[in-house]
Amino acid sequence: MLVDVLSMFYISSMSSSPSLLPGQRPRARGAASNAAGRFETLRPEAADDGWDIAHDDRLLRTEVRNEVPRSALSFNRSPDLPFDRSVNPYRGCEHGCIYCFARPTHAWLNLSPGLDFETQLIARPGIAAVLDRELRARTYVPQVIALGTNTDPYQPVEARLKLMREVVGVLADFRHPLAITTKGTLIERDIDLLAPMAVQGLLRVGISVTTLDAGLSRRMEPRAALPARRLQVIRRLAEAGIPVRAMLAPVIPGLTDHEIEPLLQAVRDAGAVAASWIMLRLPREVSPLFQEWLAKAVPGRAAKVMARVRDVHGGRDYDPAWGRRMRGEGLWARLIAQRFDKACTRLGLAGQMPPLRCDLFVPPFKTGNQLSLF
């Protein structure tokens, strides 16, 4: 379903969806609940009014609303991040990864970080044109633009809307450096745009992999590509000459940390040239959602996983401090870091990828811009 929204005012006025109705089926979803966001003063509850609803109407479906973007570039000053600007074609993500640190951002839209995050998506058509305008500003100084830093730009809805392809097309025209993070297979569609950028030293790609266990992946990342398919994406990108970094993100202590070595072996064999890792982060509403998922998906490990998570975050579900939030601290965090580093050294996987070029940046000729001829 596609619903047009004229501005962020209307998006902000939307309210969180209530709990699931009796018998409603959140098929292939990560979250099991839909609690209201932290800014809501009301807590809606679903009630069955007794009307006979068709069986198919009980299936929780994805809806997409449109936002008219006023800006494309988002800037950050985080010392933990290797970039200072990004572009987000979508808000929310249908992949439904239960651990996603971006879930709390949906609360800013008066939507739930739970099921709303996976089913109430915001698309930003026209964002490529806005980006084109911003890159032409006389004061603009090019630095690497990151895509996929909040929600996945190659999530399923991209197959129909093609917003990411439009953004990549603009960056290719400007010869602007670009870093992409994704676990979506749709990136293969854009190899024709990405491969020439890689040749020019303008592109690097990070493919997120969390486990080699297809069953665990399907429960944890219900609408994302299975592990074998992600390895195939790495292989196809590498064969096209696109440098790929495998991102073990997140590493979940007590659940996936035992896979570090085989995961690194698999991504190296698929063609990745570098690898990185991030410790599981459970900010704000993510923690209760993740614990709810643990109790249902892996009940025998739930207590152990949360004990390890709290151990690496100083006794809390999450430590937001700069320098610690991505890696954690303590014995388990050090062991994970040491195992990862030793495996990368043995396999020849780099920790960093070469810097991208910024000196090729030039705004392309724009129709009607006759003064540019002089």
Round to whole Å and give the CA distance between 122 and 136.
Answer: 26
Interval 72-121: pLDDT, tens: 999 998 888 889 999 999 999 999 999 999 999 999 999 999 999 999 99
Round to whole Å and give the CA distance between 70 and 202.
Answer: 26
Q: How far apart are the first and last CA of the chain?
A: 49
Round to whole Å and give the CA distance between 284 and 31.
Answer: 15
Tokens of 284: 């704000």
Q: Are strands 63-66 and 73-75 parallel, antiparallel or unpaired?
A: unpaired
Phi, psi (degrees; rounded to nearest 5) at 249 = -140, 115
- Per DSSP, what are the bridge partners of residue 121? 64
Instruction: Delineate the domains of the chain, giving CATH numbers in brackets.
Output: 2-20+29-38+60-356 (3.20.20.70)
**How far is it between the farthest Cα atoms of the chain?**
73
Q: 5 and 74 in contact (C-beta within 8 Å)?
A: no
Query: Is 120 in a helix, a strand, or coil?
Result: strand
Q: Are strands 85-87 and 73-75 parallel, antiparallel or unpaired?
A: antiparallel
Q: 58 and 119 in contact (C-beta within 8 Å)?
A: no
CB within 8 Å of 351: residues ≥ 6 apart: 274, 275, 276, 341, 344
- The total number of residues written for the chain in this structure: 374
- Per DSSP, what are the bridge partners of residue 277? 248
Query: Is 133 in a helix, a strand, or coil?
Result: helix
The alpha carbons of the chain give a radius of gyration, in whole angstroms, of 21
Round to whole Å and give the CA distance between 264 and 254.
Answer: 18
* C-alpha separations of 213 from 9, 230, 255, 264, 341 in Å: 43, 12, 11, 14, 22
Round to whole Å and give the CA distance between 2 and 115.
Answer: 18
CA torsion, ordered 28, 162, 164, 280, to nearest 10 deg: 0
Tens place of pLDDT per residue across the chain (374 aa): 444 443 343 344 455 555 565 556 678 999 999 887 787 777 666 666 566 555 455 788 999 999 999 999 999 988 888 899 999 999 999 999 999 999 999 999 999 999 999 999 999 999 999 999 999 999 999 999 999 989 999 999 999 999 999 999 999 999 999 999 999 999 999 999 999 999 999 999 999 999 999 999 999 999 999 999 999 999 999 999 999 999 999 999 999 999 999 999 999 999 999 999 999 999 999 999 999 999 999 999 999 999 999 999 999 999 999 889 889 999 999 999 999 999 999 999 999 999 999 999 999 988 655 554 44
Round to whole Å and give the CA distance between 230 and 183.
Answer: 7
Query: Is 10 in a helix, a strand, or coil?
Result: helix
Question: What's the pLDDT score for residue 12?
Answer: 41
pTM of the model: 0.89
Q: 223 and 97 in contact (C-beta within 8 Å)?
A: no
Phi, psi (degrees; rounded to nearest 5) at 128 = -65, -40
What does the DSSP 8-state code read for residue 106? Answer: G
